[in-house]
Structure 1
Amino acid sequence: MTVIHDKMKAIATAHTDYAKSSFEANKAYLARIATIKAPDQAIQLTSEHMKSAYESFIAESTRIGGMYKDFFKPA
């Protein structure tokens, strides 16, 4: 039973860590975009942010998906 608890705790921690890092990245993006005056700079910054957000989402989804796979493998 402790193995199940440990795996569930690791999955929950991974979700929490991703949510925190995503929130911080979005907060930094909003702080930077608030200071930009030129539209082309805003578009460039938004493009970079969206690319980074997408890449981190895919990486974390793959990692957490692997954790779920390992969790349900014995079942």
Structure 2
Amino acid sequence: MMNKFDELQKLVKDNMDLSMESLGTVSKGMQAIAAEVADYQKKSFDEGTAVAEKVVASQSIEKAFEAQSDYFKTAYEGFVGELTKIGEMYSDMSKGLIKPYEAMLGTIGK
């Protein structure tokens, strides 16, 4: 009887350790994503401010439209690139979330 209790206790401890490892991965991943988003927002704000100053200082309406058009193009490309990067970060995080369980799940089918 005691042997079964020890096995159950070990199983519960192992599962708790796996859960804590997965939660650590999620925590680190979310921190990295939050830092990336904050950096992008700061960069985007700085670029937008610089373009606004450039538009205001433009000598002609054509130069103002040109500055805005260039900004919109680069802002869009930067946004798409940032979304791709964040998507990859989420994908990596989810792979890391499952990793601790791979060994356990591999033994279930055997």
TM-score calculated relative to the size of structure 1: 0.89
The residue that corresponds to 1:36 in the other structure is 58
Instruction: Say if 2:73 is the partner of 1:64.
Output: no
The worse-fitting range, judged by mean Cα deviation, of 1-10 and 40-49 is 1-10
Offset of residue 46 of structure 1: 0.8
Query: 5+ unaligned residues in a row in structure 2: which ranges?
Result: 1-22, 99-110
Output one character per residue of 1:18-69: Cα deviation in whole Å (capped at 9) or x when no partner: 1010000001011111111311111111110001101110111100011112
Instruction: Say if 2:35 is the partner of 1:13.
Output: yes
Tell which has more relative contact order, 1 or 2 (C-alpha 8 A, sep 6+).
1
* Partner Cα separation in structure 1 for residue 92 and residue 25 of structure 2: 12
* Partner Cα separation in structure 1 for residue 24 and residue 93 of structure 2: 13
Structure number having the greater helix percentage: 2
Query: 5+ unaligned residues in a row in structure 1: which ranges?
Result: none
* Structure 2 letter corresponding to 1:25: E
CA RMSD of aligned residues (A): 1.5
* Partner Cα separation in structure 1 for residue 87 and residue 25 of structure 2: 18
> How many residues are paired up?
75
* Partner Cα separation in structure 2 for residue 66 and residue 2 of structure 1: 18
SS in 2 for 1:72: helix
* Partner Cα separation in structure 2 for residue 4 and residue 69 of structure 1: 11
Q: Which runs of 4+ in 1 moved over 6 A?
A: none
TM-score calculated relative to the size of structure 2: 0.63
